Structure 1
Amino acid sequence: MTDSVPHTRCGFVAIIGAPNAGKSTLVNRLVGTKVSIVTQKVQTTRFPVRGIAMDGDCQMVLVDTPGIFKPRRRLDRAMVASAWGGAHDADCIVLLIDAAAQLAVRHPGTDVKATAADHKAVEDVEMIIEGLKANDTKAILALNKIDLMKRDNLLAVTDELFKTGVFEDVLMISAEKGSGVADLKTLLGKRMPEGPWLYPEDQAADAPVRILAAEITREKLFLRVHEELPYAAAVVTTEFKDLPDGSARIEQTIFVERDGQRAIVLGKSGQTLKWIGQKSREDLAKLLDRPVHLFLHVQVSEKWSDDRSLYTQFGLEYDS
């Protein structure tokens, strides 16, 4: 008589899509905790955050890729190359699409008025679908933000997208509300190959804590100054020290390109930076489960986006 050996499964899931489709929100929902930043700005995910989701005996490593769009700058090219790289290396691909944007552009007769951002999102989705076709790659279609649509309109959009021939399954979800996400998780679990888990069951992400800490502060930065500050900002954790009392001392530098942007980040009498620090400190304390002493500095560096070391830190290819 032989002892039964439990079978486990483990694999990688790439979640791709146009900027602002809701990829980070979906990853956080699947994992059950925040592992990727969510702001009002598109293109905020700059490197593939690996969130770890569990479903019974199955472990899914979720790669929240940067949004795929037409690149213009070096950083843009690196982000898009990273997104496609994550897709090519995965056991399963989920293409997350903003259903409301598709409806507004493809069915202008409805009561949803298309914005410039909607048109851009549809163009990006078409480019992604062509990329999947060119590589003879199948994906799961996840139509997001269904809570904003009527059922008849949703079915029309679904039918049009499925006819492209690149999708093997279609699910309708709301990453923000949670609708349909459990069904997606179950489907993904079934697609994972048999094999040992790569991470402990209670681990939520595999990004180094220094990078996660920097991303949390960058999220607060954009939440506070998303209207005034463009994408010309980066956050780097310059010191992470465990203190004898069990707390952590973290120093971070916020890089901006111009003196005017530095003034925006600081705010009147330093109040904006103080707010960013307070909110980031609260999230970091929850993440690390211990008190955090956070010190933020703002530095002007006109060409920070050409700094090779920053690309290396975030796992991006400088020469993409």
Structure 2
Amino acid sequence: MDQIDNIAISDANGYRCGFVAIVGRPNVGKSTLMNHLIGQKISITSKKAQTTRHKVNGIYTDEKKQVIFVDTPGFQTDYRNAVNDRLNLNVTEAMSGVDAIILVVEALRFTQADRTVMKQLPKNVPVVLAVNKADKSKDRLLLEAFIAEIKSEFEFAAVVAVSAKHGLGLSELMMSVEPYLPESIPMYPEDMVTDKSSRFLASEIVREKLFRYLGEELPYAMNVEIEQFEVEESGLHRIYVAVLVDKDSQKAILIGKGGERLKKISTEARLDMEKLFDSKVFLKVWVKVKSGWADDVRFLKELGM
């Protein structure tokens, strides 16, 4: 970073660098989109809605530009508690102070929740509409009519049909935000893909596994707290994780019969961490009951939410 910091801004020579927020209602593929744009999984993905709870910065760098993507929680309109109020505040805060916004919608499905998100869009920031899962639409005329309907409700800087899952249309999407990035030297080294700590990424991995296995039963009743994170001289990562639930009955569901469900979650999380950190990981996961945590604003601040 020191080498980058010492370069004068005048040395940018046409290079562009800036922030782009990715927003949308829950479960439209925002995290999958960001992971594919930067070429590495740093934001958790799941078929369950509302898996992303923290703004995650993913960094894409090439010879012409550096794009710092801000992945946001899905704007929540169905469940009102302190958690979701804070998540919605995260979304609106993420949209202020960025150079461009990507609004993600699902092809052929534009709901009232999408309109609620669109109403939050600032008027002074260019917005690119990304129509995700466009590959599922076989009728091109139907897709064009769908896009025209959305464009009639907001003035977009550009519209791009993409498939985040299959990586289609992503180069065009990247090019559509490039003109709105300020001329600047890169803010981060070219091999850096996120500004989040290993500790944070470990908690996200555990939470992803929880949503994959428990999203139907405990969709909004869990959170992850890293109680200890150490890296030994050998490179071994020693990580202790508490999963917070609201009730004893939820604890029993999470642990599963004979502890099998929690064991499976822990094993899959450990394997993903070893791949991400490129080292051996000792992972210990247990469950803590903290009644009312989802409405405890002060406790949420302690968790960084």
Match of 1:171 among 126, 150, 160: 160
TM-score w.r.t. length of structure 2: 0.91
Q: What SS class does the counterpart of residue 12 from structure 1 fall into?
A: strand
Distance apart, 1:137 and its partner CA = 4.5
Q: Distance in 2 between matches of 1:259 and 1:307?
A: 22
Residue 194 of structure 1 deviates from its aligned partner by 1.2
1:310 corresponds to which of 277, 300, 303: 300
Show the counterpart of 2:6: none
Deviation at 1:151, TM superposition (A): 1.0
Whether 1:93 aligns to 2:101 is yes
* Equivalent of 1:40 in 18, 36, 47: 47
Equivalences for 1:66-215 in 2 at 5 Å? 66-70=73-77, 72-102=80-110, 122-132=111-121, 135=123, 137-149=125-137, 150-215=139-204
- d(CA) in 1 for partners of 2:198 and 2:240? 13
Identity %: 38
Cα gap change, 1:151 to 1:90, in 2 (>3 Å)? same
1:233–1:255 CA contact under 8 A, matched in 2: yes
Instruction: Identify the range of structure 1 (52-61 vs 214-223) with the bigger mean alpha-carbon deviation.
Output: 52-61
What secondary structure, in the 3-state scheme, does the structure 1 residue paired with 2:120 have?
A: helix
1:239 and 2:246 aligned: no
C-alpha displacement at 1:188, in angstroms?
A: 2.1
Which of these residues, 58, 64, 81, is aligned with residue 65 of structure 2? 58
Instruction: Report if the CA contact (8 A) 1:15-1:65 is conserved.
Output: yes
d(CA) in 2 for partners of 1:69 and 1:202? 34
Q: Tell me, yes or no, if the aligned pair for 2:161 and 2:169 is still in contact at 8 Å.
A: yes
Structure 1 residues 46 and 187 mapped into 2: Cα distance closer, same or farther (>3 Å)? Answer: same
Distance 1:174 1:21, change over 3 A: same
- TM-score, scaled relative to structure 1: 0.87
Give the match for residue 5 of structure 2.
none
Mapping for residues 21-40 of structure 1, pairs under 5 Å: 21-40=28-47
2-structure distance, mates of 1:230, 1:195: 42
Structure 1 residues without counterparts, runs of 5 or longer = 103-121
Runs of 4+ in 1 over 6 A off after TM superposition: none
Q: Secondary structure at the match of 2:223?
A: strand
Question: Partners of 2:184 and 2:11 in 1: how far apart?
Answer: 12
Aligned-residue Cα RMSD (Å) equals 1.7
One-letter code of the match for 1:251?
A: Y
Gap change, CA 1:307 and 1:128, over 3 Å in 2? closer
CA-to-aligned-CA distance 1:212-247 (integer Å, 9 cap, x gap): 110100001111122222210001111011123221
Q: Distance in 2 between matches of 1:230 and 1:161?
A: 30
CA contact (8 A) 1:211 1:236 kept: no
Helix, strand or coil: the match of 2:217? coil
